[in-house]
Structure 1
Amino acid sequence: MAHIFAVFLAITTFSSGIIWCINRIKSLQYRYRKNKEGQCKGMEISVEKGQGGLIESIASIFPVLLLVFIVRSFIFEPFHIPSGSMIPTLLIGDFILVEKYAYGLRNPITNTVFIKTGNPKRGDIVVFQYPKNPRQDYIKRIIGLPGDRVDYNPIKKTLSIISSCVNKKDCDGLIKVTYSNDKENNRILSKFSTNVLDNTFDQLLSNDLYLEGLHITIRSETIDNMSHRILLSNWEKSHLRSIPQRREEVPLSWFVPEKMYFVMGDNRDNSSDSRIWGFVSEDHLIGKAIVIWMSIDKQIGQWPTGLTFRRIGMIQ
């Protein structure tokens, strides 16, 4: 939908710009002719009759459309959060602003970079085009940079990152990753129980949304001195078929290629991310999420019930 709107906005802005230019030229020609005839002596001359109506209205909105086009295409773009893959950092119903120029100025239609302005860092929350379907936008946190080796322990649910890997063998530079402050949080479980099992990285023995034996834990994760919170869903063994039994299907170690990034959702057990479908190309990056500007109290498939002002602020 965002891509369709971008194309529509570009076409509308371009079309109204042409009409504005034609209308402006005609107006100047009219004024010049009247001045030359001596009928305009320092007085304001109105536009010729017959130039009003629809054409005049379209021309008048061009400056507004141009401003919206520039801001949305190159500076900031609003997005909304439709799923729970970034809980607890971002909740369903959050509206965020994405800094479009964080990593480069891009063609708003093709997303091609024409001026590079920076590089993504570990811990950045980025909006990008889903590799399997570029027309669909995803939002995740960058975990691995080009050249990194990323290891994920599905039992302890911890990360290990080694930078500067060459030919998938020689690596140096262990990135410090620490964890602390595990807290069970039943409020999140009760609020998001309708979708807490969607897209789980672990494999449940049953497809039922029966949540007995499920414990929700919030943990603080620090990667290279940058801290954020992650959400863990811990099932009792009787409810779970463990990932190590499916090791041949789910790789637990990844080498990040050049110009690629490894991303994960903060809702570690309820996120479709690089562990499932691979890396994100830098050509697919859209921008960096920086602020929540509005938040509505909402769950998937339900109508909003109100605004949540306490969530407005910068994103960590």
Structure 2
Amino acid sequence: METTKSTLYKLVSRVKDNRFDVDKLHDYCLLLQIGIRDIQVCVTDSKDNSCLLVEDFLLLEIKTVNARLKALANLFENHHLLKAGFWKSVKLSLKSHKFSLVPSSHFIPDSIGEYLKLNCVVNPNVEGEYYYQHKSSNVVNAFAADKRLVSWVESLYPAIDVTVMHQGSSLIEAILRQKGATEGKNVYCILDRNVLHVFVSQSSQLYYYNQFSIKSSKELLKYTMLVFKEFELDQRTQPVVFWGSLSEKGESLALLRKYIRNVNLGKKPGFLRFNYMFDEIPDHHHIDLFSMHLCD
């Protein structure tokens, strides 16, 4: 895929639908999800809501914000699609622990800094303040992110109004659309490499969302159980759905099931169509990336 080799990034996985047509980029949506040391790429067809491309990259030797931007620039320069400017839409999701959920009725764009002060410290020299308005849950996700990165991505697509969001926003949209939810509270967890996202919802309303940095299966269990305790959930009956970097036979899932009886891995989303070649991607992977398709 790359025209030159690079020591700045590594392709982890790539799946492409053979129906992908470069002459139809004007019908396709480009989804970019960027973390501190990784980036995921997805292309969806707006006409039939199908997934056409998924790529996962690791960014190597990232110790500064400048190093990350350099690695990304190198990747985009060597990629045969990412610098194309004819997409129907471009969406950018940023992984950040600096966020705050605010009720829509109380949200004031000029007060993002005040909302964030409750949860984190923002460096105005490096980070900009952004927000994403959720239409399905009457909540606003205010967050901080590398402003040079956002400006750089926007500059690549001058003819397109890039939608900028926080990773949690695509996940919120995903869980509030889950079919088969119980009448009581529902718990959803996403393990994105070493970050655990936990959500609690009921009747299509979001009650809780938080992130935890974890280094072991024991910490994964610890933070999941903290949420159970906070909401007084029954370990014997409460269903929990997990997406992300877990495996059915792995240590983390085995440990969770010792303490929580009803733990299951999530499925691919029903709002996108997947051709047979995407069967090689485990059903519980990339829910955050795929759910960007829902965000306008």
Q: Which TM-score band applies after superposition, normalised by the shorter structure?
A: under 0.3
**Structure with a larger share of its residues in helix:** 2
Q: Greater Rg, structure 1 or structure 2? A: 1
Name which structure has the greater RCO, CA cutoff 8 Å, separation 6+: 1
